[in-house]
Structure 1
Amino acid sequence: SLSALLLFVAATFTTVLSASLTLTIPPSNLLPNPNTLPAGTHATLTSLPSPKDREDANSHVPHPLTAPLTRSASFVFRNLKATKPESYLLDIRSAEYVFAPYRVDISADGTVLGVWETYRGNPWDNRGPEKFVVDAATGNGAKALEVTVEAKVLARRGFYEERARFSPLSLFKNPMILLALVALGFTFGMPKLMENMDPEMRAEFEKQSRSSPISGATRNAMAGGGGPGNFDLAGWMAG
């Protein structure tokens, strides 16, 4: 019948006007080969509830649109229909990499108005760098039906902490090791210094060492005897 034909033409016309959004993943330093992404990687478009829907507890919460990963390392959202202007959060969910989220605005007729990079934890109106914006002056409405945006890889997920490797240089950062090395240097270096010392200076040094109260007390202690009775250690240390 004529009515059925009109409905078919209207449905076909609506399908033709429905916009499609393609998200590609270009090679980068963090992800040199996008084709190595796991098959479970997918992209989602989630609409934000209006203030009226937030107040109404019985309001219908729409399910997010999902696009799987294609062989060309891209995500394609087809037939983006909307009964009213909608704002979506575009997010790529991957088990190995973190991607930047985007804000996608779609008009009531299904065309993409703009795509901007957004930031988590910030107000929704805080838009980042734009990826695509419809310019009414140039009339690129036809281009808005097939929009292609490049995704941005932020970081690679790390689930395991690498164990620190052993380094010989780390031993020299230990204060106890440094003190032991200094003491070892004095032990083996002092005899060499005494051998290379001038004979007169060496004799004077030995004479002062024998006459020193500390040296005498040390020798008596090593010999098992007591210290000299007329030696006042506190007075000597006080000068």
Structure 2
Amino acid sequence: MSLVAVLLLCHLAAASLTITIPATNLLPNPHGLPASTHATLTTLPSGNDHLLTASLTHASTLVFHDIPAQQESYLLDIRSSEYIFAPYRVDVAADGSVLGIWETFRGNPWDNRGAEKYVVDAAAKKQSDVVVEAKLVGRRGFFEERAKFSPLSLVKNPMILLAIVALGFTLGMPKLMESMDPEMRAEFEEHSRSSPLTGGASNALAGGGFDLAGWMAGTSPNPMANADAAPAGVTGRDTGAATRRR
């Protein structure tokens, strides 16, 4: 009878660790976590390796019951197929009570502790049930999101901007000319006629430049015929002059 009482007292004195999953912006509803979500407590590689597992409950908590009464340091991992949680370091005393919980960092020395989550108070009575909150780091992304079409992307194109500016000048210049007073319009036309570019174009048109449309229609002479006739005439005159010299 005394042995049963001792076992019962040991069971009642065994500490438990509860991890709650709070609601965040990344996870508004913790109850939507996959059913395969679970947590593990793993010891450092040594002769007495321990691996404890806790499954997700209906209350969105992970509970470790009956932590072994042995002074040990554990790595707490929360494993989920859709979300990433920060790992914790859990130190346990020889009687199985939790001494402290801190954030830890993978790839760094084990003594490099992060933010403190729980530390036992030496003056107060040890708690048999320790409750801490999990820290959600991010969500796993297995697929790259396709870029969405936005009308603003057209405005960012330099060619589209040039076309818009050219269209604005084409439609705006006639309106601007109509709104000008007669004196300003006369001055503008005078400057346009005196411009080298505009004057050269006017002289080319007035001087009877090559008429492509007329030549293609057959009403204008071929300019190459005049070019071929000129060297022939020059050659004849040169030949006649040479004959007279003889």
User: Is 1:86–2:69 an aligned residue pair?
Assistant: no
C-alpha change, 1:111 and 1:24, in structure 2 (3 Å) is same
Shift of 1:8: 5.5
Match of 2:114 among 128, 142, 155: 128
Looking at structure 2, the residues matched to 221 and 36 of structure 1 have their Cα atoms a distance apart, in angstroms, of 80
3-state secondary structure, aligned to 2:162: helix
Looking at structure 2, the residues matched to 36 and 120 of structure 1 have their Cα atoms a distance apart, in angstroms, of 27
1:75 partner amino acid: L
3-state secondary structure, aligned to 2:171: helix
| Structure with bigger gyration radius | 2
Task: Give the length in aligned residue pairs.
Answer: 208
Question: Can you give the 5+ residue segments of structure 1 that lack an aligned partner in the other structure?
Answer: 54-59, 226-239
Looking at structure 1, the residues matched to 87 and 29 of structure 2 have their Cα atoms a distance apart, in angstroms, of 21
User: Is 1:166–2:149 an aligned residue pair?
Assistant: yes
Looking at structure 2, the residues matched to 93 and 221 of structure 1 have their Cα atoms a distance apart, in angstroms, of 83
User: Is 1:95–2:81 an aligned residue pair?
Assistant: yes
Which deviates the most, 10-19 or 163-172? 10-19
Shift of 1:178: 0.9
Question: Can you give the 5+ residue segments of structure 2 that lack an aligned partner in the other structure?
Answer: 211-246
Q: What TM-score comes out, normalization by structure 2 length?
A: 0.74
CA RMSD of aligned residues (A): 2.4
C-alpha change, 1:183 and 1:72, in structure 2 (3 Å) is same
1:224 paired residue number: 209
1:40 paired residue number: 36
The CA deviation string for residues 180-216 of structure 1, in whole angstroms up to 9 with x for no partner, is 1111111121222222222233223223322322212
Looking at structure 2, the residues matched to 45 and 23 of structure 1 have their Cα atoms a distance apart, in angstroms, of 12
Shift of 1:220: 4.8
Match of 1:210 among 174, 193, 199: 193
Match of 1:74 among 23, 39, 61: 61
C-alpha change, 1:76 and 1:191, in structure 2 (3 Å) is same
Percentage identity across paired residues of the two chains:
65
3-state secondary structure, aligned to 1:178: helix
C-alpha change, 1:208 and 1:24, in structure 2 (3 Å) is closer
C-alpha change, 1:31 and 1:221, in structure 2 (3 Å) is same
C-alpha change, 1:198 and 1:21, in structure 2 (3 Å) is same
Structure with the larger RCO, 1 or 2 (CA within 8 Å, 6+ apart): 1
